Amino acid sequence: MPPHTTPAAGPSSGAPALLPGAEPWSRPPRPREGEPRVGVLVQHGFTGQPAAMKPWAEELGARGWAVEVPRLPGHGTTWQDCNTTGWDDWCAEVLAAHDRLRATCDVVVAAGLSMGGALVLRLAADRPDAVDGVVLVNPAVATHRKDVLALPLLQHLVGSFPGIAGDIAKPGVSEQGYDRTPLRAAASMMRGWAGVRRDLGRVTAPVLYLRSDVDHVVDEASEPIITAGVAGPVTRVALPDSFHVATLDHDLPRIVSSSIEFVEGLPSVRTQRLG
């Protein structure tokens, strides 16, 4: 059965048209003989879109695993559209993708880049018995930047700031994210971060933490909060040759191999295989 891509919205649909590569992507499970049905949710970040995750997702799907790459509401269209959405909308989309995987899979892993990492941590905290593993790539749940303190006021005065998309070391590669940062959506994201930080202790699943040595978008504030806060074991892997959007950068092969090794070593996968 071929991968599934949702068609872009057309002018007559009443919804903003999708940018190229913004379509959600999914693949059903095709387990090898004797292997459990594994599903992986692969979540893009703030102002990004599924195109940034698809190369990674395709490699996971090639293992015979089910994959869901959702498009968050307000993403892959316009930054103005993003300003009409917020944290609760994004959490609902992630939960729906997780539930689709749970309906067909024995084991479900949640993976995310940047804000996508915060969203899958939220999912793992809310559904500790239904998330078997968490994979984080340059996740964000906090920042040392002081200018964000003004967001509660600025979001009502200014629609956007210059964009954060495209932090990639590899020449000629584009994230296809927004060139502006929608401030109302950004303020909602940071309110959501507070809840994630508060509930990290409810994340009992094993965590794979992949971190770029150089990241011009997410600073060092998040890593100690996450690694010290989650209840499950944490494995850290450095990404020495990539910037923030490492899923499109030089270290993509390292992300693929590390995440495959992590998933195959999960207790739930080993138990299902033995059973």
State the catalytic residues. 114, 215, 244
Label residue 6 exposed, middle or buried (CB < 10 Å: 0-12, 13-18, 19+). middle
Quick check: 199 and 125 in contact, CB under 8 A? Answer: yes
Contacts (Cβ under 8 Å, ≥6 apart) of 74: 81, 82, 83, 84, 85, 89, 182, 185
- Paired tokens of 111: 């993976």
HEC secondary structure over 16-53: CCCCCCCCCEEECCCCCCCCCCEEEEEECCCCCCHHHC
145 vs 39: CA distance, rounded Å = 36
SS3 label, residue 175: coil
Q: Running DSSP on this structure, what letter comes out for residue 268?
A: H
239 vs 169: CA distance, rounded Å = 12
Q: Closest Cα to residue 137, out of 159, 122, 121, 153?
A: 121
